[in-house]
Structure 1
Amino acid sequence: DDATLSQASTLLADEASINNSSGSDQVELESGQEPLLEITPIEEKPQSTEASTWSIPNLENPTSQTATIVYLDQGKRYRVLEPEKIRYQIEESKTTYSIFVTVLDCQPLQKSPLEALITQTKLSPEKFDLSTTLEQPKPSSKENVDVWKVLDIPQSAKPYLALKDLCYPSVPEIHDVWQQNGKVIILLENRSEWQLLSNLWGSEEFSKLQILYWLDEMAKLWQALEPWHCRQSLLELTNLRVDEDQALGLERLYLEREENPLSLEDLGQLWQRLFNQSQRTQFTSLSTVVRQLCTKEIETIEELRSHLQGIADEQEYDLYDSGMQLTEAVLSEMARADTEPPDSEELLSDLSAKEQQGDEMPTVLLPMSLQSLDDLGITDIGHQRDHNEDCFGIQTQVKKQENPIGRTIQGRGLYILCDGMGGHAAGEVASSMAVEVLQNYFKENWQDQFPTEDSLRKSVYVTNQAIFDINQENARSGSGRMGTTLVMMLIENTKVGIVHVGDSRVYRLTRKRGLEQITIDHEVGQREIQHGVDPELAYSRPDAYQLTQALGPRSEQFLNPDVQFIDIAEDSIFLLCSDGLSDNDLLENHWQTHLAPLLSSRASLDQGLANLIELANEHNGHDNITLILVRVKVRPNLAQPRLN
């Protein structure tokens, strides 16, 4: 009913544009998770050999239709939004055409049929190699499974699945696919709101290094798309998009025509068109590379990327040299004026800010600097507990300097999450004490330099001793001894330190790598796995989930906290959580709907955490739930160039 659909729209606007290919399964349909731009309907339906008998499924003959509601599928999951607005696209073959509409997933918290099918195959990762093309299959054996036969999906959907992990976010994510009435329907991530690369190319807002980054991304994509015969996707200017963080992405995949083989010459001609249409002046060395591509003097991707890297190094050196000259000139002027000279790093930082006014630029060519640091924490008692033994603490300092030519940001954050144990009036005491002791420790021991591994370990031992002493003073024994897990993260600009004891976790999410569990639980099952025991056997033990480490119950000689350091090289989300959220692989199964959207600067962390709490209570709810979410945005640091 209308109320149900309205609620589904509020929970998750998981919209998708659908491209329905008539008479061929070689053409994809498109979809997404962002609102689609309004499409102006064409005056007449395009003519084709099947135009007189062809009908749009569920639009001209819908499965369920009222004055306002039309569904695309028989199961009434995908609701068509504005069915009267249809975009047609005639394919180059002139015998088929695609149709694009926008749909709303009315069951966003459930796996799509495609996701369920992949899960049900229960194939191990080494057997489930989606990157194997049909033209180059692996030798058949009992150990190798033909995954395409298992999935039984249309040819046009296979490149999206195969390239998902390798090329996201460059290649849009596939949500679902099926065949209906002899036609192929594919739901893809909707990227219609992403800006056109051609519109940004001529903007002086973007530096030469950003242009080089986009060119390098296109070169890598060219190589990745070649085995799947989808390089044509890079040659359609309207298909090249840029997201809010200036990451390059394709709106859809185009299959190549066998009678028109492509080469790097075609890529060079596209680059020439971008410069010509934007009227942006090519710098000399890049102009040479484009010319060599068009004349087939550059024949391999490796050679092309080597040239691009060389140009990037030249640009970095020129910037560094200009910065040094500016510094010397300003220092000389300040000396004549008999005033205090500014810090040279500030001068270079101001210069770099002017060069890279594009917001949140991702790049692989330069060291990164902090662009923004956002964080938020929340705790919930859950559905089955009568008190909350979790505790968390957040301390953040962000210093921002702005002037007419740019801004620089320095950030520092201390994030602590503890899951207490020991019963009422004990677990919450241990967890809150741990947070307080750790905050006081770093107030005294984190002044200038980022804490070392020894300092991080010492902070854990000091905290453990404080809780242990109370247990000893009160003569607590056995399960009556209070204790707590600990997961702690320290951030200073783009450097991260992580410490943990117990089964509370840290996850990291990036666009390129997806969701990663950074910490390994300190519990019996994991200990057995590390000793070589099969995971299924290890977790069949009745004590598999019993903690092997915690703060407080025992002295420090039984404590060995895990410490690791990470350098942030791309926009990232870090999630610290208690097992009230992480149990039952909840994040692993729902990160794409509940975490991935939060990478966007426009996404609300408050709403994101509220949705995660709701998800945990719906599927777990047996324990307290505590989360800390940290969103870190970075950009190239031109003030610290890498000189070879």
Structure 2
Amino acid sequence: MSLQKLFQISTSAPPPLHCTNPACPQPRNPLGNQICETCQTPLTYRYLWATGSGAGQIQPGQLVGNRYYVTFPQIWLDTKPGAPPILADILSESILSYLYLYPHRLHIPGVFGVYPLGIPPEATETLLLENIPVDSRGQLFPTLVEAWPKTNPVRQVYWLWQMQQLWTPLTEQGAAYSLLVKDNLRVEGWRVRLRELHQGKVQPTQRDLAESWTAFIETAHPSIQYRLQTIHQLMRHQEDSLKEVGSHLNQLLMEQSAQLPLHLAVTGLTDVGVKRSHNEDSCYPNIQDVRNLYIYPNDKLIPHLSIVCDGVGGHDGGEVASQLAVQSVKPLIHSLMAEISNQEELAPPELIMEQLQEIARVVNNVIAAQNNEQGREFRQRMGTTLVIALQLPQKVKTPEGIELHNCHELYIVNIGDSRAYWMTQNSCQQLTLDDDVANREVRHGRSLYWDAAQRSGAGALTQALGTREAEFLRPTVQRFIIEEDGLLLLCSDGLSDNQRVEQCWQNFSASVLNGEQSLESAVQGWIDVANDKNGHDNVSVVLTYCGVSPQKLVLVETTPLSTKPEFLETEPTEASKVLLYDESLPESQIQPTSKPPSKWKEVAFILSLFTILIAGGFAIWWQVSQSQINSIPEQPTNKR
């Protein structure tokens, strides 16, 4: 039997790429087009990695199963991206490993579906992996080995630190060997990415990881080579030293990154949208906050802190919750920054992440207390999503005693489906993972994402601030290092829905980074994208410029910002309905999280009391202002 017949392969000319719009009358488009010629829908180029030796035998230029076009060895382009994939009858151990590692999707691919190669019953099931390390043309990014000699010392240490951070979760899934296969380790700018998971019968040890680093240490930049050799010796001779290795790598990373310049600028805007009568979004800082900085120059939060909240619970619920969250976060972050600045020693990222989780819980309890005080239960409880970006200017001392004043750390906190994106001249990366039903099903190993996303209520939120007590809250906190020029975008789902950020980021990133467009203009541009292309919800955008090279930034343009009229309010979004009507996991399925001991617990407790007082004052002011508005008599109208 021929190979072509066995694998259902054709050798015809390049196939057309189908539009994902189900209503498109002519969905077939030539490869290379970016927009459907018929309906103008942006085309989806989904490149997949086909695992296994069988897939490796199929040559580029072949069409597999009348759907997958082989562009490079084992890289298949899905020419019908709107069609469902073949799903596995049983989630095998190899598939489950990908599902459990889904929270690490910045580094690890996921399973899109399967494809049976061969004829049953001898057919083998090939995994088709999505979110793979390829560029827009489907070419694999360079290996870490190829890129290592060409990069700077900061990024070299950053790559090693990421590998050390991935070691434990990969080991838990029996896939630590993935970090030892040189061709499997790919790099896209700052981040390390795996092409696939490798699960061997014998699990490697920390010493094996050290041996795989030998060539990197020997060819490292001279400024970091001696320190890396010391860390390398520790890994080789002390088996249970992973935590200590991480601490040494972090210290070196902080010292190296702090030697780079860092220019920050931020501005934000929230808009009611084209269909709502009230804005339940809140953000910080908005354009007025930034302009007031010239009047009140002692605001230490700008440009280091940015916040976006999307409230749920109606005009007198979601609007209050989102504003209350923003106003409560600010003094807590201010206290954290002051505490860090007074410390002589470098605070480890684990400790800072704990404090940020604690801050989220304090704010949660502030909103929950308002719900309890107002007698709100179940469907009436107000809440809000939250995404925080904190550029923490930690000080660090080098071994020579030189004090450097900013380690370039960036912490992202998210609860709900408001998002953070990192954009450069060449890429756009979603940093956060939505707290929704579809993602929960994947993380818990119950379903592939495609299958989970098709189910009713897939986009419903599974958690938000204020809807339940803090012990049930699981904030996600991540730490990044700013070591390249880029834009950090925080936004509510009024913009991120329907992949508008992924479709439109190139319209803004290069022009802002090259100094051709101001931050204010770009923020207004993102608001316009949300209103023109989505338009169903309120929208908030906060954009932070992060520069490590000579500045080209334009902050403000002379043209005034446009304003849009308000219209009648429509139904809340599906995610808001779920939170409003308490359709998330039953209480019996949620286990309280244990809080690790914190050296700032007393500070957090005092601040929580202070924040609750602020919240009480805010609520009283809100109720008084609303009662005053309601007490104004209506003016008589003339009948004609």
TM-score band by shorter chain is 0.3 to 0.5
For normalisation by structure 1, the TM-score amounts to 0.45
For normalisation by structure 2, the TM-score amounts to 0.45
Bigger radius of gyration: 1
